[in-house]
Structure 1
Amino acid sequence: MIHHTIKGTAAAPVQLPTIHIVGDIAKKAGSGLGPRTIEDYELLYFPDASRSIYRIGDQAYTLNEPSFVITRPGETHAYEYDTQQPARHLFIHFGLPGEEQLLELLPMLRLDGPSCIAADDQLLAQMMKHILYIAYAHPDRLQERGSSMLLTLLTELNGQLYDNPQLAQIQRLPHQIVKALDYIDEHIEEPIAVEMLANRSGWSHEHFTRSFMQFLGRTPRETIIQRRIERACQLLLYEEWSIKEVAYRVGFIDENYFSRLFKTVKGITATAYRRKYNNPVYRNLVPVKETETMYPVNRILYNVWVK
């Protein structure tokens, strides 16, 4: 069998995973599978929240949100599918020709790695689906095209777990909070009452505030101020408005209050911020909603590639 490789360290190239079998199936409500053991690795993706249960050893994982499941060779495991609805899942069985090296690169696959990873991530889901599409439409190219994509999928999933452990522990924001953040961004010039945001979310004021503290680490009022100041930072660089006009554009009537608050949050005055970070490249840019991406828009990321 020919093993494809990609460039690795100076010591040796990295061998790609070898795909054995793939599938996308929906099991009848109340059915199950196992207990069983397998001789290779298996990556599964359950795209829908359900009451299905994955058991491995003495651990039981309820798949009540979109999740990836990792099963390793020799692990005894079983599935108990939702009794009320069919349980759809996508799966890929694969081997690791360069196992020692790949386990070094992907600690997620080690025996002490996680068995269930909650991840409602459309990029990862689409990569999984595309591997299955290649298997269906171009089976003779599966090892060439699908294996490299599988390694990328595993690398990205591994990165979400280990590259930033703090982020990996943060749950996806509830849609009520996302809606509140969108409203703040869209009405940044207007008075915004926390009680009104809570009412729009359908939550009580107390639950709304607790949720902001849980997911964002700050109260709704602190979040409003933070969003106003961040928008002001953009306007200071994108526009040639006076400090007073910038303050007004982000919802502050009192310029002096805005100036004091800006210095408290950013550590320097608004004038000093503009002078320090002013760059012609920022001209003609416009602010965008912070919730649209997981990275800061309108920022140029320097030194992301090192020769």
Structure 2
Amino acid sequence: MIKLKNGFLGERALVLPPAVIEDMERSPLLTALHITDIGYYPRAEHHYRQRTTPINQFVFIYCVEGKGWFRLSDQKPQPIGSNQCFVLPANTPHAYGANEDDPWSIYWIHFKGCLAEAYAASLRSPMNVKPNIYSRINGRIQLFEEIYHTLELGYSKGNLLYACSAFHHFLGTICYQQEYRNAIQKDFIGDPVEQAIHFMKENLEKKLTINELAKYTGYSISHFTSLFKERTGYSPVNYFNQLKIQHACYLLNFTDIKINQVCFKIGIEDCYYFSRLFTKIMGISPTEYKKQAKG
């Protein structure tokens, strides 16, 4: 069986230098909680990682699509599904990997610090982060991208302080999930179109079918499609594609993600199809758009 640690199409990863980590451990602010490694693996087929020699970092993994598993020491494997996250404890042998038939897409962060154990304690067992009418999953993913991009800009003191401070918030959005949702709770109850649009935004990295959208709102496919088009002027599928390309524009504008990585961030594995869809909606190719002056 093929086993890969990395090298997945569309992947991104940063490993902070040992000297930078040592400086963070000496900082009064950063010693509490700091990132050592961070990355994103989309549709990580054959992903497998085993550490028989323990590492002194906690490993956070957030599965946004597909399936996988993890195992601590000699325990039985624990299955992981879409919209679940967990933390592997430091100083403990472990293994994890993608499901062979439906490989996971994961955001992952290695972290340390005197507060690391306190955060990890809430995530020893897999935690569900399911979309609902009050969820803010897309906001959490945007926060991850902000952390990643800040570190990508370099390891200045300011960048490290901001990225690790934001990481406190990121973990808080998961450990205190209901409070995070309540903070800007919106009233979508009784409005199937608003519910559907919110559900689309929470699932930009996935391929939603019209059946899934209609089922989420509790309407038949025909009734939902008719109502959605009457309200928005677009079919649900076309509207979802517009939201995907809108998010692609954001990534092209404000991050250094490469074009052949952006497509995975909006649930499109075929880069050529992504380019055609982008051109159809925006009037220019992703490459031309990235070069274009904004503002």
TM-score in terms of structure 1 length: 0.44
TM-score in terms of structure 2 length: 0.45
